[in-house]
Chain A
Amino acid sequence: MSLISLEHLSVRLGGNTVLQDVNFTMEPGEIVTIVGPNGSGKSTMLRSIIGALTPDHGRVKLQDGLRIGYVPQSLAIDSTLPMPVHRFMALPIRVPRAKIVDALEAAGVAGLADRAMTDLSGGQFQRVLLARALLGDPHLLILDEATQGLDQPGSAAFYRQIEDVRARLGCGILMVSHELHVVMSASDRVICLNGHVCCEGRPEIVAEAPAYRALFGSGTQGALALYRHEHTHTHDDDHDHDHVHDHKHDREHSH
């Protein structure tokens, strides 16, 4: 049975239709990457899957007893909240300390258990988030722009770790990313999203698809799309995109 399936999913946020008639299924052990321009509904799709948003039409079906490990796009911890790494790892389910220490070591951040979350570097923070998401032994790992704020070597190392996680745990991985050249090679399937699913398939096939090129230009395997893309792709809803924009410096918004 599929891990998740979205059937004719439509989501409206603040009067805008962010997702329209999205159909999507994901099998156990698959690595799927969602790509799409800013405001294309990538985060909205992930948030619908975890149940944070209620669809206006269609539905989200999860496998019975599906355990989700979720790594959010960003996590701001209020400075008034004292939160050491070991306590964060044990939220919301208490976990023995030995298991936490092991998980941190596996994530490449050994010895941080007693540090305050607010004292971690960006890279350490992301690895702790990943380690926490994996602690519950998830069937499905969801990553929303998990390498935001990391430099190139940092994010490359992070994605190597994701592949390692799949090899070790065999869980399905669904992620949103802007770093197409890194991510696409590691994915079994790529979904190109722009309010609806424009195209999907194996990375090399999607990279050649006209709909994908319309969105990301015809750069080499999408790598160039990171820097510049022109798109003439229009929708009848009010998605406004700049026609040329520099993705490297754009913050991702999920409407």
Chain B
Amino acid sequence: MLDDFLTRAALAGVGVAIATAPLGCFVVWRRMAYFGDATAHAAILGVALSLTLSTSIFGGVLVVALLMALAVSSLSGKGYAVDTLLGVLAHSALAFGLVAVSFLQGVRIDLMAYLFGDVLAVTRTDLAVIWGGAGLVLALTAWRWSALLTATLNPDLAYASNIDPKREQLILTVALALVVAVAIKVVGALLIGALLVIPAATARPFARTPEAMAVMAAALGAGAALGGLWAAFHFDTPTGPTMVCVAAVLFAASNAVALLRRAV
């Protein structure tokens, strides 16, 4: 079954959607969409470094994404507004990454594959990395779920319950870097942010609890991945961007339905 590249692509897309859903909810609740972007843009630098050092792409991206996420989270609140920090760090990392890649002569690499993903080229090993990473991210968020929610609601409320909000922030940061490293093959560095934010935002009008929102986001993300794959195959369009397009259409539909329900 795994011999079929379409099956592998579908499994990869669903795996990434499930991992990004709960994290995407926190990204939306904590208003840290910028954070996902900064981490993802740094991934290109990770790609360049791992090609230079001939190490695994996954490892290189993970390390650079982690460093980036830690840099943003420790620098925020120290002089610059976070959106300014994002502008500096995310785009510099992307620029340095693109420049670094251009030095890599000899190895002909398809930059597009890392910017927009290449889910049709997913191998069995990639699949193992994606599902392994997704499992780890899910386990991490499930384990810290209540503490993360409390810290998101109010840091002082967390402290009073013996939860350290800074530790929870760190756990989120690590999980986010992991998701970026896992998802780069599927949607690419430029569109990971979309996969984090759009399904969560789409689920919001219909969710009455945080848990319901995370589960719905996972289902919507998986739907967007499968729908995008199908559409890309039929219309011969790039797969990663098509997935994001389907997610965006679902978002628009969700909000239209919510508006109609309110009007009735």
Residue positions of A touching B, CB distance < 8 A: 47, 50-52, 68-70, 72, 75, 77-78, 80-84, 87-88, 91-94, 116, 136, 142
Contacts and interface: CB of A to CB of B under 8 A. Distances in A.
Given A50-B156, A70-B156, A81-B210, 15 more contacts: A52-B156, A68-B160, A70-B161, A72-B154, A75-B154, A75-B157, A78-B29, A78-B31, A80-B28, A81-B29, A83-B210, A91-B149, A91-B157, A92-B158, A136-B161
B145 to A, nearest CB: 9
B157 A80 contact: no
Given A92-B147, A94-B146, A84 B208 contact: yes
A72 B150 contact: no
Interface string B139-172: 0000000110110111111111111000000000
A91 B153 contact: yes
Nearest to B160: A70
User: Which residue among A52, A84, A94, A136 has the maximum number of chain B CB atoms within 10 Å of its CB?
Assistant: A52
A97 B231 CA distance: 45
Contacts of A83: 153, 209-210
B149 A92 contact: yes
B33 to A, nearest CB: 11
Interface of B: 28-31, 146-147, 149-150, 152-163, 201, 204, 207-210, 212-213
Contacts of A72: 154, 156-157
A75 B150 CA distance: 12
B150 A87 contact: no
Contacts of B159: 47, 50-52, 70
A86 to B, nearest CB: 9
A90 to B, nearest CB: 8
A71 to B, nearest CB: 9
B168 to A, nearest CB: 10
Nearest to A140: B160
Nearest to A81: B29
B146 A82 contact: no
Contacts of B156: 47, 50, 52, 70, 72
